[in-house]
Amino acid sequence: MAPMAPTKTDIENALAQIELPDGGTLVSRDMLRAMQITGSEVRFVIEAPSPEAAKMMEPLRAVAERCVAALPGVTKVSVALTAHGPAPAAKPAPSLKIGGHPTPQAGPMRPAGVDRILVVGSGKGGVGKSTVSSNLAVALAKQGRKVGLLDADIYGPSQPRMMGTSKRPASPDGKTIEPLQAHGVTLMSIGLMLDPDKAVVWRGPMLMGALQQMLGQVNWGELDVLIVDLPPGTGDVQLTLCQKTVLNGAIIVSTPQDVALLDARKAIDMFKTLKTPILGLVENMSTFHCPECGHEAHIFGHGGVAKEAKEMGVPLLAQLPIDLDTRLGGDGGAPVALGDGPVAEAYARLAKGLVQGDMA
């Protein structure tokens, strides 16, 4: 009889035997992220305290991989190494400035080589809009699409952390910005261009200038779809993007909570007013499945987004659970859609539905 698949506890107990050079273990120092067990296959991320430490930890990563591979019931192990915090990087060419006033446009534009642009918005913060954006981008890339992800949440950019990259984009000529690549996705964020510890204290025109630069000056290449992670609410960025860019549609993210739905309605009304097609709603944090007893709980209410979608005559695109691996994957720079678990499958279905609908 084949040995049973290992549990998370089995893996942590094995890794707890590996002593770190400066004391403690991967478990005691909380360096394990995004652990996924799919049958006999195990994946997880080791998060180093700094980019410098990560460079020295490749032997440790290899030892951890061998240690888990030796457990009964394990046939395949994949261990990634990432770092907490941004890596130091060279500054771009001195003539490249982010956050100036926008230059006049003749009309709505679309970056060269980009086939479709989809925006992901929400009426309020904290509903998981950025998590949905990053995982949807990864899910589409896994299905063979050429995908870009633009982090337009200028006051609170989170995609560099969620996608596991903090390198500063290069600018060979001081005008064109070369985006980064992460998990098969082309990525650009204002968070990659500015000091991550400094607040963005800009008025509207500077926001618009930065957004215009990230759309028009970034070398996006040939993309099937560019996903834009919007700030929450109905402000300057949303207004300018809808009026100055050719958009194929908007996806609205909300929790089932009544307070979130109140604001989601306002976001939907804004997009309708600005003539941007609504592709549908995503209910995030829909249910919680207890990993110990299997009980299903509706922490933020039940069915609210489905009811709202029906009343407004728009599709309900997905109902995504509140899930620990999703949070760990986002914090560790390895979106949960990279794996093969139930949440990854939900994002795969969401991506497949958009592809079959030809992404508007």
Which CATH number belongs to the domain containing residue 53 in this structure? Answer: 3.30.300.130
* 143 pLDDT tier (thresholds 50, 70, 90): very high
Q: Are residues 236 and 317 in the same domain?
A: yes
Q: Which of 83, 102, 136 is the last residue of a domain?
A: 83
Give the residue-averaged pLDDT of 171-191.
89
> Which has the closest alpha carbon to 281: 298, 261, 299, 296?
261
Give the residue-averaged pLDDT of 68-88.
79
Give the residue-averaged pLDDT of 320-342.
89
What was the pLDDT predicted at 241?
84
Q: Are residues 121 and 73 in the same domain?
A: no
Is the predicted pLDDT of residue 90 greater than 60, yes or no?
Answer: no
Is the predicted pLDDT of residue 61 greater than 50, yes or no?
Answer: yes
Give domain status of residue 316, yes or no: yes
Question: Percent of the chain having pLDDT more than 90?
Answer: 30
What was the pLDDT predicted at 97?
61
* 205 pLDDT tier (thresholds 50, 70, 90): confident
Is the predicted pLDDT of residue 234 greater than 80, yes or no?
Answer: no
Q: Are residues 119 and 77 in the same domain?
A: no
Is the predicted pLDDT of residue 95 greater than 60, yes or no?
Answer: no
User: What is the rounded distance in angstroms from the CA atom of residue 15 to the CA atom of residue 18?
Assistant: 6
Beta bridge partners of 249: 118
Residue 147 corresponds to which tokens in the numbers above?
A: 């995908």
For 148, phi then psi, to 5°, come to: -115, 150
Q: Are residues 187 and 327 in the same domain?
A: yes
Range of the domain at 27: 8-83
What was the pLDDT predicted at 85?
56
Task: Find where tokens 């990563």 sit.
Answer: 61
Is the predicted pLDDT of residue 94 greater than 50, yes or no?
Answer: no
Give the sign of the dihedral formed by CA 172, CA 176, CA 177, CA 183. Answer: negative
Give domain status of residue 107, yes or no: no
Give domain status of residue 151, yes or no: yes
Q: Are residues 66 and 144 in the same domain?
A: no
Q: Are residues 74 and 213 in the same domain?
A: no
Is the predicted pLDDT of residue 44 greater than 70, yes or no?
Answer: yes
Please provide the average confidence, as pLDDT, over all residues in the chain: 84
Q: How many domains does the chain have?
A: 2
Residue 199 has a CB neighbour count (10 Å cut-off) of 9
Higher-pLDDT residue of 357 and 276 is 276
Give domain status of residue 101, yes or no: no
Cβ–Cβ under 8 Å, residues 226 and 236: no
Give domain status of residue 97, yes or no: no
